[in-house]
Amino acid sequence: MSFLPIKSALISVYDKSQLEPIVSVLAQHGVTIYSTGGTETFIKGLGIEVISVESITGFPSILGGRVKTLHPVVFGGILSRKDLMDDLNDMAGFNIPPIDLVMVDLYPFERTLESGASHEEVIEKIDIGGVSLIRAAAKNFQYSTVVSRPNDYHLLLEILSKQNCSTTLEQRSFLAAQAFNTVSHYDTAIFHYLNREPSISAFKTSHANGHVLRYGENPHQQGVFYGNLDQVFEKLNGKELSYNNLLDVDSAIHLISDFTEPSFCVIKHNNACGMASRTNVFDAWRAALAGDPVAAFGGIIASNCTIDRTIAEDIDKIFYEVLIAPEFTEDALELLCKKKNRIVLKSRPFEIPTKQFRSLLGGVLEQDRDAVTESNNEMNVVTTHQPDQSKMEDMIFANKLVKHTKSNAIVLVKNKQLIGSGTGQTSRIEALHHAVQRAKQFNHEVHDCVLASDAFFPFADSVEMAYREGIRTIIQPGGSIKDQDSIDFCNTHGLSMVFTGYRHFKH
Name the residues annotated as catalytic: 139, 269
Rounded Cα distance between 299 and 318, Å, is 10
Using CA atoms, how far residue 122 sits from 107, 113, 234, 242, in Å, is 10, 6, 29, 37
Rounded Cα distance between 211 and 209, Å, is 7
- Provide, for the chain, the percentages of residues in helix, strand and coil under a 3-state DSSP scheme, each rounded to the nearest 5: 40, 20, 40
β-partners of residue 323 are 301, 344
Number of other residues whose CB lies within 10 A of the CB of residue 60: 10
431, burial (CB in 10 Å: exposed 0-12, middle 13-18, buried 19+): buried
CA atoms within 13 A on the CB side of 105: 16
DSSP character for 376? Answer: G
Rounded Cα distance between 456 and 486, Å, is 10
CA atoms within 13 A on the CB side of 293: 12
Q: Cis check for the bond before 415: say yes or no (omega within 30 of 0).
A: no
Rounded Cα distance between 359 and 436, Å, is 35
Query: Diameter of the chain by CA atoms?
Result: 98
Rounded Cα distance between 440 and 434, Å, is 10
Rounded Cα distance between 129 and 436, Å, is 66
Rounded Cα distance between 271 and 274, Å, is 9
